[in-house]
Structure 1
Amino acid sequence: MQKRNNYIEIEDFLANESFQLWILSKVDEQGWEEWTLENLERAKLVEDARLLLLAMRVPDSKLSSNQVHEALQETWRKIEQREALSQKTSKIKKLRTQRYWISGIAAAVLVGIFSVWFFKNDILPNDNVVTYNELVEENNEGLVEQTNNTEKSQIVTLSDGSSVLLQPNSKLSYPKIFTGNERKVYLSGEGFFEISKNPKKPFFVYANEIVTRVVGTSFRIKAYPDQQNVEVLVRTGKVRVKSNDLARSVENEEIVLLPNQAVRFARKEFIFNKITNITADPVLVNSVTNIEQLSFEFTDIPVAQILETIEQAYLVDIDFPHDKLKDCRLTTSLSDQPLAEKLKIICKSIGNETSYEMNGNQIVITTSGCN
């Protein structure tokens, strides 16, 4: 059971950093909105905590202790006035109890203020931060959002055939159908992209303060809202990375990345650090996933083994008639293809009206055997 399910006081919410981030920065990585809708009995507490947090929000990053003290005193004065007007007949003991309770709220609010202030000013300066919600709001198309709240990666197949391996605690917004002369998606968290080739319709991934432009290639982006760096690592093809229009940028520098190259964008300093030898970077080496390590070049390999490789790479389950494919072998290259295209090529190579159906991470192949 989540810890928040035991919250019974306003100060419980005010002391929660993810709640502060949701209210003050509109970053709902912990699903507060959905949780509130599912726990309507606590909606009043959530709203009261939200109003208090917003009322005490500090716009200036540099406050003296006197200013903080004066702000709290003023808030306390208004609370006392309201209590005096609405509860003139209340007993002194009750007023003292309420005073202690409200003082606790004020203290929790103060903790919340400085937690958010520290996060925004010491880790990520205000003028640099671009949130996932801001990026999505800039798009005037109707977007579909895929959120991965599970403990394993999920496959997202886009209308153009491109695929995204979305990692846990990540989400992706994208149009149901790509229109116009561009393809745009929005990422919060981490995803491995395999883009369907279309030179006339470039593909853009917006993530935090940067945008990655590709035509047809495979690459990984790691862009969590609470981390100091954004990373882009290219497996095949070529990508271009630069700051997006919502972020502060002096020169709007563009970085070109080729296979096995990466860029690490420091959000606080607003600096791009290009890495031409990813094997020499311990952080990148330790973060490499199966799909980036496995080879998709097959020479006279049993179909069952090829399908097993795909299962390992994408963490999917493939159901197929083993007895009908036990003698089937293929020679094919699937290195620069999205998952859907890989499956199409395999089915076409097997022949005999072989087809597949994909439902989330479950894939079913139907066939009467190989040619």
Structure 2
Amino acid sequence: MQEYRDLAPEELALDSSFQRWQLENDPAATAFWQEWLGQHPDKAELVDKAAALLLSLHTTYGQQFIERLPISDREIQDEVNRLRHSLDNPATSVIPIKWFQFAPIRYGMAASILVVLGLFGWYLLRPATNKGGVTYTDLVAQATEPLSEVSNTTTAPQLVTLPDRSTIMLYPKSRVSYAEQFTGNKREIYLSGKGFFEVMKNPSKPFYVYANGLVTKVLGTSFTVQAFEGARQMKVAVQTGRVAVYAQKQLPTSNQTESYKLDGIVLTPNQQIVFSPEKPQLIKSLVEKPALLEQATQKQTIVFKRTPITDVFATLEQSYGIDIVFDREVMQACYLTASFADEPLFEKLDLICHTINASYKQVDGTIMIASNGCQ
């Protein structure tokens, strides 16, 4: 349910579950969104704005909007112009907005402004515009062999087992397509939404995930892909092993035999790529909460007693699989006495840097330490 936090109002208004809640009072959708609001009370305004936009669109286009029937550019532009005219002449025009009991009126004239901006945003974000390139539907249509599709319409993650015994934890509002048997020299998966993959290792048959303009290539590892259609950002985050990530247009076209080589931007544990279709660039960084590697979980308590800082950073590198760059000569006189348990990595770094009068920042998935040395 976390992915809804990052949506804009016009994106949320296009969500089918949100529509069933607002327009049909569907019991399952109602229960889901009431629980979501309870967990994310700070997003009440987002929900109100999306509801205002959705209900205005529904009033204007009715069943045509719900069934995703074609709405012409001219109709959209006429509606935008009509709503803009209403703003210029508030005394003579009325914006048709209906509110349910759970969505109190908060905006007045601001609601009218919202509908204009929201409608215009919806117009720009319609699936037909596809600024990011090849969509899930396009990719599935281009597949050269029959595909099986699994769609998660529930409110809980769903486990999908692939022909090679790899697995996908498919999150709500997501779907995935794949061949019934991986017969070629690749294992190709098409994803819309979010999935956590655990891939069986097979160097002679690399595993590819295609997701809304983003391509992930692995040989055998575990990672998460988040790529909802229409979203402003896509994300790939690695838990174990190594993956290579490309923008769709950067995918190598060579027909040479697949091997251990991973081109593109290579990610290791606790690193991620964030990709924006509107600005096609891959930004590498650390995940929000780096986790201890599996071999380090047995040693969560770490004690340092006047330990050279080089050994401290080496321990953290081994525990999290993250490179820490610092000037060994400048910091050769720095020592640390401290005890750590299950604190997040960044809290550990805050304490260490505070103790030795240093600072740190993230650069391209690496921790960079700045220090003037220790007396």
TM-score between the two structures when normalised by the length of structure 2:
0.47
Which of the pair has more CA radius of gyration?
A: 1
TM-score between the two structures when normalised by the length of structure 1:
0.47
